[in-house]
Structure 1
């Protein structure tokens, strides 16, 4: 048994879970870390309620906010759909937390959603049930949408998301596995047993691309148009910190999958590696990214150069 599996887990199940008679077809899995999943639960409840073959499992990764944990526990007790809350004594991280959820799920299919997401419309779960009934693939990514924020501090993140990640299914299918994300992901539970997330990824970034590229070798992955609305936009300072720290994970991705050498981020990092003294420009790029005076397009370019500069140190 490894150290991660030895971390204690506490479970709280609501009355609807205890009254369940049949095994679920679908397990909806929601990891969170300081994010309140309450809005997602309320949005899912009317979509889940007509079905008796769906369970929800929440996972509080390390319980960094005990008050929030108590609030979520009380919230699920007032809902009439089957929900369990798992709380970890210590933080496992994004990859290991999602693996834990898969291990604890009873459904033949798993749907990963982020705690700050909500379904775009009332047909959200029915579209995934159509995928399950068609039985033609092993995993699908439905995509996501982000509303444009009024807060200027959050507009950089929204612009980056719109430019890089928010594509329709046709575009994403053209890109392939590297367009998968770990949120709004429907996957067979048997696939997760055969191909779990790599626990070697720590902190933020790239574990979802690693998983999809690995799974695509043996299983059929597809993209569909069934987006969820994604909140959780972050400030430029948070993004700068995450992109700097994420360089180690990017190196792990390229080491494990050398065929990804031509990813745009890898090409940009290799180019910057040839520029003498490029690291001295990081201060300029960070100030540009944080500026609320510059056009968002210029701020986005500066953020990408910042990310590529740190990646150039490790690849």
Structure 2
């Protein structure tokens, strides 16, 4: 019934596979688990134990091909109609995690089922606070909140029909932040999306500096995809904010003001109380600079 697909890079996936195996035996579903390592530079020895688990395939790629390309490969090689994508650094929040998904398949006529994501309530070290705060405030949404913009999904916990995913997952280059592209494609295809309360807990927190770099990479990806005609210009909040500024011819005034506070912002992002509103402004300014560079 379900192919559970877990791409991984430099991460021990054994705890996640163990948790899933326990639930599979309780729910008695037809399943396979595929774990593909995307050319890890620091290959966890624990992952060598994965083939010992029932119906579990572990494949190591010699070369890193990127998040969307490896998902496309896994989807192509999956045997079942439904694909459950999970990131390596998550764990199901409840023992009924797989049961909730199988019930959603049986009782609804949808193409995509999104379970959501949450973060541990235990505060991490200061080096990871920006990522933790961002996740809890911007990603850990209730079902009602997610239904406001139903096509905005996270592939870190996503159940989707195989054929639909292969048609929607069109960008295979090794960019960062391509969930926005997948969301955009699903919207264009009028896919039927169901949001349910079935989260995973995200444990893999990047340190502040690394998270800022990734956030800016995601902004770069947005501009690249816009220029290629592969993403609408009104999907992300920063795109909508930019459009409002541009309409009023204020985008350059905005950047001039932000430039005076950038160093203060960057110090704040490393502090015990990172300001997410400032983080939004920081990324918006970067988006403006990229749009100016590309004459967009």
Q: CA RMSD in A?
A: 2.1
Aligned to 1:60: 37
Distance in structure 2 (CA, Å) of the matches to 1:269 and 1:238: 25
Distance in structure 2 (CA, Å) of the matches to 1:65 and 1:72: 12
Q: Quickly say closer, same or farther: Cα 1:262–1:111, change in 2 above 3 A.
A: closer
Unmatched segments (≥5 aa) in structure 2 = 246-250, 292-296
Q: Is the 8 A contact 1:99 1:196 kept in 2?
A: yes
> Which moved further from structure 2: 207-216 or 106-115?
207-216
Shift of 1:269: 4.5
Aligned to 1:17: none
Which of these residues, 252, 268, 283, is aligned with residue 263 of structure 2? 283
Q: Quickly say closer, same or farther: Cα 1:127–1:211, change in 2 above 3 A.
A: same
1:139 counterpart = 2:112: yes
Aligned to 1:153: 127
Aligned positions of 1:178-189 closer than 5 A: 178=152, 180-189=153-162
Distance in structure 1 (CA, Å) of the matches to 2:239 and 2:29: 46
1:39 counterpart = 2:15: yes
- Cα deviation digits, residues 217-265 of structure 1 (max 9, x gap): 3321221111111111122111111122222212134443664437321
> Which moved further from structure 2: 33-42 or 245-254?
245-254
1:216 counterpart = 2:190: no
Aligned to 1:311: 287
Unmatched segments (≥5 aa) in structure 1 = 1-24
Distance in structure 2 (CA, Å) of the matches to 1:99 and 1:247: 23
Aligned to 2:66: 93
> Which moved further from structure 2: 217-226 or 273-282?
273-282
Distance in structure 1 (CA, Å) of the matches to 2:137 and 2:203: 16
Report the count of equivalent residues.
280
Q: Quickly say closer, same or farther: Cα 1:124–1:258, change in 2 above 3 A.
A: closer
TM-score by length of 1: 0.82
Q: Is the 8 A contact 2:12 2:88 kept in 1?
A: yes
Shift of 1:215: 1.9
Q: Is the 8 A contact 1:142 1:184 kept in 2?
A: yes
Q: Is the 8 A contact 2:19 2:92 kept in 1?
A: yes
Q: Is the 8 A contact 1:197 1:208 kept in 2?
A: no
1:72 counterpart = 2:44: no
Partner of 2:154, secondary structure, is coil
- Cα deviation digits, residues 94-150 of structure 1 (max 9, x gap): 111111110111111000001111111111101110111124100111101101324
